[in-house]
Structure 1
Amino acid sequence: MLSSIGLLCCPLLWAQEVTITTEFSDSNAKSYSTQMQHWQLLLESAPQLQVKYVHVGMQRGFELLAQSGFCTINKLKTAERAARWLYSARPLNVSPSLRLITLGQSSPASVASGTVSSGQDQIDLQNWLRHPARRKIGIIAGSSYGAETDQLIKSRPNQFYLVHGQDVSLKLWQMLKRGRIDAIIDYPVRIDHLRQVQQDNTAYTALPLQGLPLHLKGFIVCNRETHGQQLMQYFNELMAQPAVQQRLVASYRQYFNESEWQQLQPYLQQTFSAAF
């Protein structure tokens, strides 16, 4: 009991700092502020924790987790990753699933700019890539898009354009606008924020993909060494606090329409029970 209290109250006794890897550069931090808002909410309850940031590509970010004191945030949980790294007990971020983003309005749905189509318009990505066969989708190197899509990427490497390094979402959006690729897989909320920051009125369509759940969860990930274990215990205790859970749940609301939000309630009430 005493050790638990000491860990929560006095992080400087066990871990003065954590280094967080991010996939955006300093110069484009504003464009990626939505990716950091839940982390910033968590830090409001951890004023003594000293945080450093390194701006690297996603693949390099996972490589750095092998070093003591490094963690990353907003990462999907896969069996392969969970076998190697420590994941937070609760997700830091809960958002609608990834969507297929194309320019303008595309069949089979007509969707206004920035609006996500309904579940009945789900896209079979394998069929979409066949018609026409030269279609190409831009994706982030090192990212996971769910088991079914990840397998499709492996089976059709010539139809997926992998982008490495920093500011990848911004680079992919620019490539899409220039006609270098036919679509990207990303979150509408991120595309909307990029457009807002850049004062970009380019219309787009966001279509849900078959095989993906209603929502995706992004976790904090650290290495399994002693420092990583201590950091993860601290993060887990922070996210168990009712006030933290209430702020996190309230922040997720902006991502979902009313119908999606109601469908999400059972999961939120189970996972963030202290918020209700």
Structure 2
Amino acid sequence: MLSKFAFVVIVFLSFFGFANPIKIEIVSDYNPSFGEAPGDLATQLLLIITRNLKNDMKIDFVPASREREWRELQNQENVCLYNKVKTPQREAMGVFVSFPLMAFPSNRLILRNKKFVSIEVSLKDALSMGLRIGVTQGRSYGLEIDDFIKANTDRMFISEGNDSAFRLRQMLVQGRLDGIIEYSSVFVTDFPSEEVLKDISFHAIGDTTATIFGYIACSDSRTGRAAVDLFERTLQKRTIQDLIIQAHANLFLPQEEVFISNSLKSAFNIKN
């Protein structure tokens, strides 16, 4: 009789274990305590999604570097990250939501005063030219580029810290680097002036995936999996999917917009 009662209690607790909103720490470089609205689309979309989950999830932002993000994901039970590229190594660290939050064209090799370089170039060829190329430590650029960086770390400039990606863009403009690996739209947003862009060229990197998706990932724990399930159900809603697709409009260069839209529709299984 006692064992039967214990079984009922366990079932009851399992069913109502998350009757109150689950508390999730979003570890990222966004710090709302500064009183500033997020400038990047990924954070804005995440806030929209979590507002849809206000009765089921409460979030707090915890500022951290990119490297620390993944340590916290593994060491804590209630951490989620967002706008993260899936790689086999990362999927071993946490649980990913199956639907994307963001979509990007592949990273470009952005060069300054190197317009003699062909419009598509491999990183191997770029390094063989003696170019000093900067990348951010702890950032994933996609499987192919990540593997290349890992094998050639000693031949590249590695930038660390919370704002390392922006610092790299500044160093390129200042002529302290020959090139960086970055999204073309991100660079143009930061440095839109014709005076800067006249010296800048954007090069497709050979043998890379055409579209990169950014996902939400959470701790591999009961709380983390519950959060993934909530994000999953929200991202299955057609209204949310349409909002994400529309939010990507005018975000990238014109020749990339249609492809990004079609890639998101495919990821969301939208047929029309």
Q: TM-score, normalised by structure 1?
A: 0.80
For 1:21 and 1:201, the matched residues in 2 are separated by 37
Task: Please state whether the residue corresponding to 1:173 is helix, strand or coil.
Answer: helix
Match of 1:22 in 2: 28
For 2:267 and 2:88, the matched residues in 1 are separated by 20
Tell me the CA shift for residue 177 of structure 1. 2.3
For 1:103 and 1:271, the matched residues in 2 are separated by 35
Letter in 1 for 2:102: N
Match of 2:196 in 1: 202
Structure 1 portions without partners, runs of 5+: 1-9, 110-120
For 2:47 and 2:195, the matched residues in 1 are separated by 28
Q: Using a 3 Å threshold, how does the CA distance of structure 1 residues 225 and 271 change in structure 2: closer, same or farther? A: same
Q: Using a 3 Å threshold, how does the CA distance of structure 1 residues 24 and 37 change in structure 2: closer, same or farther? A: closer
Q: Decide which of 126, 129, 150 is 1:128's aligned counterpart.
A: 126
Q: Using a 3 Å threshold, how does the CA distance of structure 1 residues 166 and 179 change in structure 2: closer, same or farther? A: same
Whose radius of gyration is greater, 1 or 2? Answer: 2
For 2:122 and 2:66, the matched residues in 1 are separated by 27
Structure ranking higher on relative contact order (CA contacts 8 Å, 6+ apart): 1
Letter in 1 for 2:46: W
For 1:275 and 1:60, the matched residues in 2 are separated by 39
Letter in 2 for 1:59: E
Q: Decide which of 202, 207, 214 is 1:211's aligned counterpart.
A: 207
Tell me the CA shift for residue 246 of structure 1. 0.6
User: Does residue 164 of the first structure (1) align with residue 160 of the second (2)?
Assistant: yes
Tell me the CA shift for residue 221 of structure 1. 0.7
Q: Trace 1:169-248 onto structure 2 (pairs within 5 A).
A: 169-195=165-191, 202-203=196-197, 204-248=200-244
For 1:28 and 1:171, the matched residues in 2 are separated by 23
Q: Trace 1:3-42 onto structure 2 (pairs within 5 A).
A: 13-23=19-29, 32-42=39-49
Q: CA RMSD in A?
A: 2.8
Match of 2:54 in 1: 47
Task: Please state whether the residue corresponding to 1:236 is helix, strand or coil.
Answer: helix
Tell me the CA shift for residue 181 of structure 1. 1.9
For 2:265 and 2:100, the matched residues in 1 are separated by 13
Letter in 1 for 2:158: L
Identity of aligned residues (%): 21
C-alpha deviations, 1:31-76, integer Å up to 9, x for none?
8523423223323423343221122111101101021211110111
Structure 2 portions without partners, runs of 5+: 1-15
Of 265-274 and 164-173, more deviation after overlay is shown by 265-274
